[in-house]
């Protein structure tokens, strides 16, 4: 079982990343700048990745290795989106 302090830390990470994703998406809608949409999607992946390890491990009863691999895959999927947002040309 994953202890309450770890769950609390993961929940805080999820909430903060969702707040950043929401702010980035709001910035995209307001300014119509494509990089903000990529930042929003990247932080969404990171936030979901932060909590999914515990959920997959607890709910589905998978091995900790499988759950950690899923988390690493989701977080690793979000980071290139954020990096890609830096490469956009601004006019």
pTM of the model: 0.84
- pLDDT tens per residue across span 4-23: 888 888 889 989 999 999 99
DSSP secondary structure, the chain, as one string: ---HHHHHHHHHHHHHHHHHHHHHHHHHHHH--HHHHHHHHHHHHHHHHHHHHHHHHHHS---HHHHHHHHHHHHHHHHHHHHHHHT----
- pLDDT exceeding 90 applies to what percent of the chain? 62
Residue by residue, pLDDT tens for the chain (91 residues) are 678 888 888 889 989 999 999 999 999 999 999 999 999 999 999 999 988 888 888 888 889 899 999 999 999 999 999 999 999 876 6
């Amino acid at each position: 079982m994953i202890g309450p302090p770890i769950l609390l830390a993961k929940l805080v990470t999820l909430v903060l990343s969702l707040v950043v994703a929401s702010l980035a998406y709001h910035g995209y809608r307001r300014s119509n700048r494509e990089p903000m949409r990529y930042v929003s999607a990247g932080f969404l992946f990171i936030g979901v990745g932060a909590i999914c390890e515990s959920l997959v491990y607890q709910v589905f009863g998978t091995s900790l290795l499988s759950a950690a691999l899923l988390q690493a895959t989701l977080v690793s999927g979000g980071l290139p989106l954020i990096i890609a947002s830096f490469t956009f040309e601004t006019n």
